[in-house]
Structure 1
Amino acid sequence: MLIENWKILLALAATAVVGGTDTSSSTLSFLPSNLQARKPKAATAPVKDQLLIDTLEALRVMQDKYFQVNAGTWPSAIDWTAAVVGTHVAGALGSLSKGLLESPVTTTCEREDFLLRENLVTLYFSQLVAFYFGQDAFSLRNQAYDDMLWVVLGWLGSAQFIESHGKSLFDSDSAAGADTVRQDIDLALGNQSWHGSIWTPPFAHRARIFWELASKGWDTTLCGGGMIWNPRLAPYKNAITNELYIAASINMYLNFPGDSSSSPFMYDPPGAWSPSAETDEWPPRDPKYLKAALDGYKWLMNSNMTNSFGLFADGFHISKGLARDNSHATDIAAGKCDQRDEMVYTYNQGVLLSGQVGLFKATGELHYLHAGHQLIQNVIRATGYDLYRDAPIDDLARLNPWELPPWSGLGRGGVLEEACDVSGECSQDAQTFKGIWMHHFTEFCAPLGGATSTPDVETVKAAHAAACQQYLGWLRHNAMAALGTRDDEGKFGMWWTAGLLNGLTTASLMQMAGPHNDTLLPPQSRPHAKGGARDVVDYRNYGVPNDPMWIVQGANVPAADSEGEDEDEDEETFNNRATGQLPIDHQGGASRLRSRGENSANLADPNNRGRGRTVETQGGGLAVLRALWELSKQADGL
């Protein structure tokens, strides 16, 4: 769908007013001592304006190029990645609502500007409503527990947007709520709410249904607690499912508006129930959600899930203590999580952040914020970025066009990266991960507001904002890298690092790698990685290995194809079948760096390899730009 007068809207967006945050009075700090006095570099006004324009353009391309109104979805996405893309749209709508509609409306000209901006927000909101019907909720009900929890976060985020946007329009003196216009509206229409509020009940209902379905994955018979990843595979307790359970549970506690529909599939039509708190069967602020988040967080933080970089490894297998029959596992001993898969993904470091800030808001306990900031700093360090110098550890300007900075644990050259990026073999799953990290980082670093019982709340808010501002240079560095991967259509690539390395091509990568040289690849991606293949299994890219550690003996799982798993098959298939041996065990560096279809365009652009540019990579580009935009608005002096 093309938007008329797009250039006019971009020009209007560039005039949006942003506010600042004064943190000079803060005495508390979430930073190491060497960073506490460092003042971050501020962006200039033209840079800020261009950032907003780039963010709007990223959203436009994602919706124009990938969303189909008739289908109500992004057809090239699979069920769980579509849920994540929907979450990106809801987050972007919240940012647009605050960034485009915060200026007062007092004149006819300002009212016309406001209507153009509100029309833009409403356009994308209508597509989000279409996705409510286009989402394959029936399929998702039968998938892994993490897939279900993405649904919870997505529709809670959409409901939050409705609440905040409605308040900005009708409950304040900003935008359409200004004096003259508000009087006209009141006289003509009476006391109305924003039209989008009619969608809050169905969105909330779907979030509740999927939280209840997913909560069945909480298991205390093995490892003393924790969520099981997939009910159809051997017990595997991974970081992402547990982080999602924490984040979804605390968001249900803080933001779930209540639900009175007893239907298991859809929301009952208006008039079939009363929305009053007295008749709600599932009320807001139910303590069970807070308890679930607290229990999940306690288990995860005591699970020994972090590696020497302070990053979360993927998860734990249970090697002993199980007897198998045809249908279930029986605990015959103290089943322990004793075999850790050391694979590291970016999103495993991100989802927990929104859980941590939510737990702080609910309890007022500062250790949740401390832990979140520490995790962010661990991630930044593992990309090869020095926060004190506010620059990459390696001087990228001194690299030859064919050289790569060294791998630092979760990236290189100061840029966030998946282990599969350099080889160009990232799966549809992995193409979604960096955007997820950026989304939850944005949630963590949003202004804290007043939802906390902390005694000195203003000091905490200031300290939190000051710490987040220290990440601004690194965030800008990543956004510029991502922008450098856009093609002529404005589509973002997967491998952001390539956007900073001028002259890097697929051909030069192949020349560096040689026929059997894997030195370019991160340790996790090298054949015969230290610790053995079982210690590092990249199942998100190469499928679930067909071995007893992953597959329940006697389970009804189809045999693997000779070609291995197709990256494009849907998530339901992925969750119900085993794949062949990992390609990582037998492919050399050059073959793994080879592009599909070695034409001149592919050889010139490393981001044309593999799956190429997709709705998932576009979501990642949108998420990093939104994160930078939101933090830039909070910076001093803006």
Structure 2
Amino acid sequence: MLVKWVTTALAFGTLASGFSLFPLHLPSRFREGDAVKSNTATPDLQLFEDTFEALRVLQDAYFQPWVGTWPSAIDWTAAVMGTHVTGALQSLSRDLELYYPTLDAGYSAKENAISLYFSQLVSFYFGQDAFSIRNQAFDDMLWVVLGWIDTIKFIKVYSRHHYEKGTREEAKPGALWNQSWYGNAWTPVFAHRARIFWELAATGWDTKLCGGGMNWNPKLTPYKNAITNELYIAGSIAMYLYFPGDKNAAPFNFGSPGLNPGFTGSAEWSPHDPKYLEAALNGYKWLIQSNMTNDQGLYADGFHISGNNSGSNNTKCDERDEMVYTYNQGVVLSGQLGLFKVTGDAGYLREGHRLIENVIRATGYDLDKESPVDNISKIFPGQIPPWHGLGRAGVLEDACDIIGKCSQDGQTFKGIWMHHFTSFCAILEPFPNIPVYARSFGRIQAEHSAACQRYIGWLRHNAVAARGTRDGEGKFGMWWTIGLLDTTTMLNIKVNLQAMPEQDGAVDYRNYGVPHDSLWIANMKGGLPNVSDEVNKGQHPIGKAASNDVAAERESDETAAEKTWALFPDPNSRGRGRTVETQGGGLAVLRALWELSKQSL
């Protein structure tokens, strides 16, 4: 069965054999065939300290154990925060000994920290409003899948490295010393939730419109957007690779397959089920053939089907929302990595690196020169660096950052990009029982590592910017770019339309809410008068409702932005200010730099 799917996968790319993996102009220190470097120097322990101080603030300031969640988050952003904590645990479990001079001190501190943050993830399992998320959009469901699969991966790796027989206390007999790590007791629980939510989300796949693709929200007109399809790809391949199986049929009745799309006629769901791989392959094929990318090679947000709400027979995705968000460029990276692990097809990695380069270029950064394309020192004071498509001054931005009008959705996006970028650029390890790796894996591993090392200068530039937004309590702001600049000049700065990003044909519904019109809302005149308010609840900026007048919005934002500089000398105190979502983003960018910079030692 695997051979069948690998054969299908090869239609999407070319197996890496006899050609250069990445179409990059690598510096001389990163030529093809270079070996992956090992840790031979001292890592930047201040960066380690800053990374886990960001984690401490995230949990101490925003997480409440007695309710098992981050109360100020909404359902889907809470799922993302859980993913950030799991990622930090992975780094902590591997690297805390580097921070302590003796093994005993390092082990004691590690166990205390791992136990603390893992116990909070267990608490979050009970605090997560799983029943509410079942009735939400398909992307909301898939964030749940990724979060718990990531946690299962952490449990497996931590147990293997620290608690398998022979690793500790080998000479001491008895049940006390032969126990596996207690986190393994939670694997079946987390696996069950991941499986349930994947099955619920998979009902969003539709072939009647656009030749395939995931719908975003069943309460609205059909809209096939990038994030839902990227999540479907990443979630499906993660289920294929890491889902350990599930013997728990709850909450569905064994005899009612209609209530459970994944019901197979038995009380067990097996690991490595080919249906997950098939879903990932079909999803990826549809996405790359969907014309979802713009002239900069960035993913636009998604497609409507013109006339669908007025009885038209059109079934093509032909009305693209040109809005560009950072997270739409990130989640697919995890899907591409997973597909490579299964198929051995380096084309997936090549496409991921191409997307990363497009993102970095769109922040206004030159990888070859390892510096921003604009001379920031000559732009200031009194001006904002120009917009390049997904950032300015070499720093990743969303369009809402400069205005200070990001919703909870918008405040979460950059952290998501950094998390999936970090996963993509981890040192490749061969996946068991995949013979296709035999001839080319070593070369692919070396070239992938070399390509990722090329991003460190840009990543450090962004981490410095993000650290510059921290307040006295260690809380990160949303607009990282301002962390590079002298905020004492803010009173002299005018934000004008030239500094504000503008995208023709773009609807920023993630920050301003779904527009109240028939393009977005089914049966606008009669059937669902309040659906937009339900979908938008908590999403648009404080005091700002959804609007259809884009020009008026921009003029209003320009005026408001100019007025707020005098009132808010700290630009990151505007709008929602510093939140659990912005803290998750700060943690993600520092962790990304830590993980990649270790590889360069």
TM-score by length of 1: 0.82
Q: Which residue of 2 aligns with 1:23?
A: none
Choose from 470, 489, 498 the match for 1:486.
470
Choose from 392, 405, 408 the match for 1:428.
408
Q: Which residue of 1 aligns with 2:13?
A: none
Are 1:442 and 1:630, in contact at CA under 8 Å, matched by a contact in 2? yes
Q: Which residue of 1 aligns with 2:560?
A: 592
Q: How do residues 290-439 of structure 1 correspond to structure 2 at under 5 angstroms? A: 290-320=277-307, 333-439=313-419
Q: Deviations over 1:188-227 (max 9, x none)?
A: 6242200111000010000000000000000000000000
Q: Which residue of 1 aligns with 2:26?
A: 35
Determine the C-alpha separation between the residues in 1 that align with 2:477 and 2:38.
Answer: 27
Q: Which residue of 1 aligns with 2:206?
A: 219
Determine the C-alpha separation between the residues in 1 that align with 2:347 and 2:299.
Answer: 18
Q: Which residue of 1 aligns with 2:34?
A: none
User: Would the alpha carbon gap of residues 126 and 233 (structure 1) be closer, same or farther in structure 2, given more than 3 Å must change?
Assistant: same
* One-letter amino acid of the counterpart of residue 54, structure 1: D
Shift of the alpha carbon at 1:558? 1.6
Q: Which residue of 1 aligns with 2:548?
A: 581
- Bigger shift: residues 380-389 or 497-506: 497-506
Q: Which residue of 1 aligns with 2:530?
A: 558
Q: Which residue of 2 aligns with 1:247?
A: 234
Q: Which residue of 1 aligns with 2:568?
A: 603
Q: Deviations over 1:43-78 (max 9, x none)?
A: 997871110000010000000000001110000000
User: Would the alpha carbon gap of residues 285 and 101 (structure 1) be closer, same or farther in structure 2, given more than 3 Å must change?
Assistant: farther
* One-letter amino acid of the counterpart of residue 310, structure 1: G
Q: SS at the partner of 2:279?
A: helix
Q: SS at the partner of 2:323?
A: coil
Query: Gaps spanning 5+ residues in structure 2: where?
Result: 1-16, 32-36, 254-265
Shift of the alpha carbon at 1:592? 3.4
* One-letter amino acid of the counterpart of residue 544, structure 1: V
Q: SS at the partner of 2:303?
A: strand
User: Would the alpha carbon gap of residues 334 and 567 (structure 1) be closer, same or farther in structure 2, given more than 3 Å must change?
Assistant: closer
Determine the C-alpha separation between the residues in 2 that align with 1:165 and 1:338.
Answer: 47
Determine the C-alpha separation between the residues in 1 that align with 2:181 and 2:98.
Answer: 16
Confirm whether residue 539 of structure 1 aligns to residue 482 of structure 2: no
Shift of the alpha carbon at 1:79? 0.3
Confirm whether residue 129 of structure 1 aligns to residue 122 of structure 2: yes
Q: SS at the partner of 1:340?
A: strand
* One-letter amino acid of the counterpart of residue 293, structure 1: A
Are 2:30 and 2:450, in contact at CA under 8 Å, matched by a contact in 1? no
* One-letter amino acid of the counterpart of residue 462, structure 2: N
* One-letter amino acid of the counterpart of residue 368, structure 1: Y
Are 2:386 and 2:498, in contact at CA under 8 Å, matched by a contact in 1? no
Q: Which residue of 2 aligns with 1:86?
A: 82
Determine the C-alpha separation between the residues in 2 that align with 1:458 and 1:102.
Answer: 27
- What's the Cα RMSD here? 2.9
Shift of the alpha carbon at 1:632? 1.0
* One-letter amino acid of the counterpart of residue 247, structure 1: A
* One-letter amino acid of the counterpart of residue 556, structure 1: L
Shift of the alpha carbon at 1:117? 1.6
Q: Deviations over 1:295-341 (max 9, x none)?
A: 000000000000000000000000036665xxxxxxx7350000100
Aligned residues: 559
The alignment-based identity, stated in percent, is 59
Shift of the alpha carbon at 1:556? 1.9
Q: Which residue of 2 aligns with 1:282?
A: 269
Shift of the alpha carbon at 1:506? 5.0
TM-score by length of 2: 0.87
Q: Which residue of 1 aligns with 2:261?
A: none
Q: Which residue of 2 aligns with 1:49?
A: 45
Determine the C-alpha separation between the residues in 2 that align with 1:46 and 1:555.
Answer: 64
Confirm whether residue 444 of structure 1 aligns to residue 424 of structure 2: yes
User: Would the alpha carbon gap of residues 231 and 43 (structure 1) be closer, same or farther in structure 2, given more than 3 Å must change?
Assistant: same
* One-letter amino acid of the counterpart of residue 423, structure 2: E
User: Would the alpha carbon gap of residues 103 and 283 (structure 1) be closer, same or farther in structure 2, given more than 3 Å must change?
Assistant: farther
Confirm whether residue 183 of structure 1 aligns to residue 183 of structure 2: no
Q: How do residues 81-230 of structure 1 correspond to structure 2 at under 5 angstroms? A: 81-100=77-96, 110-171=103-164, 177-178=167-168, 181-184=169-172, 186-187=173-174, 189-230=176-217
Determine the C-alpha separation between the residues in 2 that align with 1:590 and 1:228.
Answer: 34
Shift of the alpha carbon at 1:29? 4.4
Shift of the alpha carbon at 1:118? 1.1
Shift of the alpha carbon at 1:32? 3.9
Are 1:505 and 1:606, in contact at CA under 8 Å, matched by a contact in 2? no
Shift of the alpha carbon at 1:102? 7.9
- Bigger shift: residues 146-155 or 404-413: 404-413
Q: Deviations over 1:455-493 (max 9, x none)?
A: 211111111111100011111111111000000000000
Determine the C-alpha separation between the residues in 1 that align with 2:335 and 2:490.
Answer: 39
Query: Gaps spanning 5+ residues in structure 1: where?
Result: 1-25, 267-278, 325-331, 525-529
